[in-house]
């Protein structure tokens, strides 16, 4: 039996009936043709319909397969995009970009400016700076005492525009109070400083307040100051404490400047 097609044999005539519809026009044509031709015609028609249905089913299945495949690709792409965005967000959240300041140095050279409220990578940088530069404060002769403020001014904090000399003036005043200038000028001596021990960083953190607040260090340096002339050499043991803060490389190549100098006689061991 062919789907949708029924063959009826009534008294030698063959009629076709397409269930559930009425008798088809093609069935009446059987009256004018032989039963063989009529039967073959209707069987061919039924086979053709079955072939069309199978082809249609195949096409529908192919369309469904393509649609399902497209949906899978789309879902995979969306999932990949979600993971990519999640990874990017996590990377930005956990690895904040480092803030950077730029400035112009001599000859319009672009310089990376440090953040003045942040410390150096290690306190050893400040310690080495103290050991290197503190000796300049106690190295002078009787004939250049007048030039000493100029010779050491680059080591001191001079304000935002470099015009503030209060820190330098306090150092000069302290040297006079210690009697070094009087001794050197009267006895025509040459003073030179040497480390008697390693420097120590006593404290570090924010110093100052408001817009002038900067990261700083208190460095203690033991010194032997030798002042000599043609007759003799006098040695003074001093314990110098420097308060230094971060500075722009346009103001100080070593990125540190002095804001205060305290000096006292070192106790004998």
With beta carbons less than 8 A apart as the criterion, state whether 134 and 156 touch: no
Long-range pairs, 44-51, Cβ under 8 A, ≥24: 45/5, 46/2, 46/3, 46/4, 46/5, 47/2, 49/2, 49/3, 49/4, 49/5, 50/2, 50/3
pLDDT digits (tens, 9 = 90+) for 171-215: 999 999 988 899 999 999 999 999 999 999 999 999 877 767 889
pLDDT digits (tens, 9 = 90+) for 44-101: 445 555 566 677 777 777 777 777 777 888 888 888 888 888 877 776 666 655 555 5
Look at strands 214-228 and 190-195 and give their pairing: antiparallel
Please state, in angstroms and rounded to a whole number, the distance separating the CA atoms of residues 82 and 86.
Answer: 6
pLDDT in the model for residue 196: 92
Q: Which of 187, 144, 190, 152 is nearest to 169 (CA)?
A: 152
Average pLDDT over residues 255-267: 88
pTM of the model: 0.57
First-to-final CA distance of the chain: 124
């Amino acid at each position: 039996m062919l789907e949708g097609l029924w063959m009826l044999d009534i008294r030698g005539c063959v009629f076709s009936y397409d269930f559930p519809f009425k008798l088809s026009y093609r069935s009446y044509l059987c009256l004018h043709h032989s039963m063989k031709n009529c039967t073959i015609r209707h069987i061919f028609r039924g086979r053709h319909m079955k072939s069309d249905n199978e082809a249609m089913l195949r096409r529908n299945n192919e369309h469904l397969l393509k649609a399902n495949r497209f949906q899978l690709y789309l879902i995979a792409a969306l999932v990949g995009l979600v993971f990519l965005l999640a990874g990017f967000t996590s990377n930005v959240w956990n690895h904040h970009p480092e803030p950077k300041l730029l400035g112009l140095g001599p000859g319009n050279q672009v310089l990376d400016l440090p953040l003045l409220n942040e410390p150096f990578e290690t306190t050893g940088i400040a310690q080495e700076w103290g050991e290197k530069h503190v000796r300049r404060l106690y190295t002078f002769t009787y004939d250049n005492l007048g030039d000493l403020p100029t010779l050491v001014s680059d080591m001191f904090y001079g304000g935002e525009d470099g015009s503030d000399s209060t820190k330098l003036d306090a150092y000069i005043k302290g040297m006079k109070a210690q009697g070094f200038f009087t001794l050197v000028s009267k006895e025509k001596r040459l003073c030179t400083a040497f480390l008697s021990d390693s420097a120590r960083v006593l404290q570090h953190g924010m110093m100052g307040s408001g817009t002038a607040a900067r990261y700083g260090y208190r460095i203690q340096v033991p010194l032997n100051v030798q002042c000599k002339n043609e007759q003799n050499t006098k040695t003074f043991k001093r314990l110098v404490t420097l308060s230094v803060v971060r500075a722009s490389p346009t103001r100080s190549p070593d990125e540190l400047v002095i804001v205060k100098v305290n000096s006292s006689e070192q106790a004998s061991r």
